[in-house]
Structure 1
Amino acid sequence: MRKYDCVVIGSGPNGLAAAIELQRSGLSVLVLEAKDKIGGGARSEELTLPGFVHDIGSAIHPLGVASPFLSQLPLADHGLDWVYSPAAVAHPLDNGVTITLNRSVEVTADSLGTDARAYRSLMKPIVNNWHQIAPDFLGPFRFPKYPLKMAEFGLKALRSTTSLANSTFKTLEAKGFFAGLAAHSMLPLEKPATSAAGLVLGALGHVVGWPFPVGGAQSIINALVSYFQSLGGEIKTGCEVNSIADLPPSQATLWNITPWQLLEIEGLSFPTNYRKQLKRFQYGPGIFKVDWALSDPIPFKNPKANQASTIHLGGTIEEIALSERDAWHRKHNQHPYVLLVHQSPFDPTRAPAGKHTAWAYCHVPRYSLQDMTEAIEAQVERFAPGFRDTIIGKHTMHTRQVHQYNPNYIGGDINGGAQSIDQIFTRPTFSLTPYRTAKKGVYICSSSTPPGGGVHGMCGYHAAQTVLRDLFPDVRLEDVTKV
């Protein structure tokens, strides 16, 4: 068998990011993928009807554009093109009001009426300081380069969503809007640090928008693969790795998998204490997902919702908080918070002429097999009467099917582990170098490491940097997070 400098197991965004960083540093790199198709959590297929392209996992990618690593790769030269809907996010309410997140902080704030000033005060410092603070929360724990700016952000981010929203805003519109952003954390909104998700996602909407790639999430993967191969990297699909004996010789292996999966690899004889730490790693709730082929665009009551490709359905902060609390405590909420994505009005490549696609998911208990289709569709119908009449095809996935699609989604958890306050930077173990395992030459580069879930490649990038420092000290490192 040929010997490589590094072998990466898993071809998701983080695995490919690690492979690119190593390959462009002059090393020889092989990527092994168990599935027949590359991409991990960023794949696209015709799930419902011929000609209707659906994103199986990730769909909207603000961090794909804002990532300090991905943003400086020549992916446009390899076929990646982004689409921006007029508004990043829409949040409709039962009173007929729909709040939209626009690139302008001022425009977004003005739509919040009496809470306009409070929104500006909350978001402007983060937006203005984004490029100084983002590198520090998009990686492992370290002393920040701009400590005062990071502290200003951290004092807000460490608060619970309910505490920050209720103390900052007066109106149900502003509170519900912020809760919809924060609920991406997949945690009860009463938990500390859940505000971080709302602040980061809100700021991203103002700094770069919430774009998505033409043709589907697979386009991101295809561009990464094309660039990697242009550097001389190799990829092999259909290669399931269950033992280190399945691997060719190398100086380092980088595993784009989660802690429990790492423990199942035969031949990785980790020390007992390290194995115990990996076993204690906590996963979060799962998702139930629906994809639709549609005859027409979603008919929202308030047309402002049609300006956005992402729509948060859940109404008030109280409703959203209850939904997220139930999922965490292994209950099914029949009026769940729903993340709805409707890209086809802005990207005609997603469906045949005149037709449309949409997908949505809600958070459910991990390992749940309950069918939430009716509950999800009822939430869409609540804000878009007549939606059901537009459905011409449907595909659903419960948590077991989500897990089968991507083995990293343990029990349906798409974040690679709960992003709770005790696992934000200390994932998968408490370490200043969390990408390095207790076995020399073995590294983990999945979303179970900082900064966690999302298509940003930063977990893979930081893992690759760790490998280069540990094993290839003669390679000149260029830290993109300091640019």
Structure 2
Amino acid sequence: MSQWDIVVAGAGHNSLLTAAYAAKAGFKVLVLEGAPRIGGDTTCEELTLPGFIHDPCSTAHNLIQNNPLMRNNELQLDQYGLRYLYPDPVFTMPFRDGRSITMWRDLDRTCAELARFSPEDAEAYRELLNDWQAMAPIVNDERENPPQPPQEIAARTAGSKLGLRMLEIRQSTALDIITQRFREQHVRAFFAWIAFMTLHPLDEPETGLLAFSLVAGRQRFSWILPEGGSIRLPLALASVIEENGGTILTSQPVTRIVVEGGRATGVETADGSAYAASKAVVSTIHIVQLPGIVGEENLTPQFRAGIERWKPSLSMFAAHYALSEAPRFRTESGSMESVTMGGLQSLDSLHRMLTGYRTGRLDLDDPVFLAITPTVIDTSRAPAGKHTFKLISFLPYQLAEGPQHWDLVKDQVADRLFEALAPLTSNLSKRIVLGRNVASPLDMERRNPANWRGSCHGGASTPDQSGYFRPVEGWSTYRTPIEGLYQTGACTHPGGSVSGLPGRNCAAILLQDLGSSLDKAIHLKERVT
């Protein structure tokens, strides 16, 4: 059995981040990934044709920009080939009635777009951003540390610059915030679409902050994406790990976490290999699958009960295209190329989509879209003059006929979505399509076991499954009931998306328990012996 200090199960961006800090702190680290390539949901593949580099799941890396990892350049990832691009426009939103709204990196220019619909709403947008500045320090501090009990969060919130107003915002639905602050229907749809981009149903309680944080993040960082594809982040982290003596093995799915005397002591992989961990095992295995890997008898009844109640989040349907030219979206100032396009015709459209998700019904008459053409700003992702294009909608994994029904209908669904989007462009048609790859929510689960029930965000972020309760009440500190076993990834605080915060937070706890710290990892010059 090979011997390591720390063995990490999974090579998504969060687990790689935990591993990178641990390796920098001088520990001997091994990362085992079940797929042929690292990255999990932050990876790249030639899904359509050779030379066309697609992001199967995540493309935008917005949330990670405010992580101290990036904010303070803690691991100097820019020295390992990671370079971010800032599209301008941020995104455009054409409507079927011929109107359009475009977000630009320049705030005044964005406000001018909104003022065409309502000068009052343009001013309300500035007020919303100002309010976020008052709330951001508290929210960011919460996200960058293990979560506190709800009563402590409420007390800190009430003591903020906005006082009880912030507490009211936190408890509200995002839709309530949007309808209270904005009056014009197109403007409401514009802000609802942005607030929905972490796939939280906006009509649920305690989603109010999304109407502030996601909007402000897009305005500040644009629809930021890594040059060369989403995998550039995992590749940079892998370089840090390997440069500091760590090892990464792919095509090695972990099938068992070895528990001896109540302590995690290593792992076994599908080919029968065994790897001992003298200090810790870090898991990014989906929390629902964890009992089968560690043995239910090794988990407490309370922990098992929490897992059994785990709820999935919204799921994505994605069609990837190789195109001969970039889509040009219709705007009131003429058709334009844009890295990102948002499609939400009205708040009623959002309600229809959420109803379809909750009932397992495919409603394709008024779909909600996210369309991304990375090659508008990053020509390295396709042959010269050609483009990659990803068309996403938000459709249920659990169809009324069962999830397996997706295999029968996914191509027709992709056709319907393409046809629904085409009128919002001046050139999107089969004429410019060179190749296509369709991924239903069921396919998302098949390609990555962490995408349980088609969700790339780990699970729902409802109040009972967020913060202090994620993944299970009493176990939100990245530790588990098994000594020496730590959990990171989208099932832990603060949840899904490319934030890197579950990985960094887990590293902080892990290193603290091992007598080290993040600060030592960042500044350590010599390896531990």
- Asked if these proteins are the same fold (TM beyond 0.5), I'd say yes
* Correspondent of 1:120 among 105, 122, 126: 126
1:410 is matched with 452
1:253 aligns with 2:294: no
* Correspondent of 1:460 among 503, 508, 518: 503
Q: Deviations over 1:436-471 (max 9, x none)?
A: 11111111101100111111211011112222233x
Q: Distance in 1 between matches of 2:2 and 2:437?
A: 42
Q: Secondary structure in 1 aligned to 2:370?
A: strand
User: Structure 1 residues 303-312 or 276-285, which shifts more?
Assistant: 303-312
2:261 is matched with none
Q: Deviations over 1:146-199 (max 9, x none)?
A: 850485555334321221111111111210111101222434332123333332
Opposite residue 264 of structure 1, the aligned amino acid is G
Tell me the CA shift for residue 38 of structure 1. 0.9
Aligned-pair Cα RMSD in Å: 2.4
1:394 aligns with 2:394: no
Question: Superposition pairs for residues 412-431 of structure 1, below 5 Å?
Answer: 412-425=454-467, 426-431=469-474
Q: Deviations over 1:308-331 (max 9, x none)?
A: 422111211221232123213322
Count of aligned residue pairs for this structure pair: 479
* Correspondent of 1:374 among 415, 420, 423: 415
* Correspondent of 1:158 among 166, 171, 176: 171
Contact 2:315–2:394 (8 Å) recurs in 1: yes
Q: Secondary structure in 2 aligned to 1:249?
A: strand
Question: Superposition pairs for residues 116-195 of structure 1, below 5 Å?
Answer: 116-127=122-133, 130=136, 133-142=139-148, 147-149=159-161, 153=166, 155-195=168-208
Structure of larger gyration radius = 2
Distance 1:185 1:282, change over 3 A: same
% identical aligned pairs: 27
User: Structure 1 residues 280-289 or 305-314, which shifts more?
Assistant: 305-314
Q: Distance in 2 between matches of 1:382 and 1:424?
A: 39
Give structure 2 stretches of 5+ with no counterpart: 259-267, 269-273, 522-529
Opposite residue 317 of structure 2, the aligned amino acid is F
Tell me the CA shift for residue 415 of structure 1. 0.6
Distance 1:463 1:267, change over 3 A: same
Distance 1:352 1:31, change over 3 A: same
1:27 is matched with 27
1:440 is matched with 483
Contact 1:140–1:432 (8 Å) recurs in 2: no
Q: Secondary structure in 1 aligned to 2:275?
A: coil
Distance 1:105 1:299, change over 3 A: closer
Q: TM-score, normalised on structure 1?
A: 0.93
Contact 2:479–2:485 (8 Å) recurs in 1: yes
1:200 is matched with 213
Tell me the CA shift for residue 84 of structure 1. 1.3
Q: Distance in 2 between matches of 1:309 and 1:139?
A: 33
Contact 2:370–2:392 (8 Å) recurs in 1: yes
Tell me the CA shift for residue 275 of structure 1. 1.0
Q: Deviations over 1:2-43 (max 9, x none)?
A: 322211100000010110121222222111111121110011
Question: Superposition pairs for residues 158-307 of structure 1, below 5 Å?
Answer: 158-245=171-258, 246=268, 247-250=274-277, 251-267=279-295, 269-302=298-331, 306=336
Q: TM-score, normalised on structure 2?
A: 0.85
Q: Distance in 2 between matches of 1:149 and 1:422?
A: 27
Tell me the CA shift for residue 408 of structure 1. 0.3
User: Structure 1 residues 237-246 or 163-172, which shifts more?
Assistant: 237-246
Q: Distance in 1 between matches of 2:25 and 2:386?
A: 45
1:338 aligns with 2:338: no
Distance 1:476 1:260, change over 3 A: closer
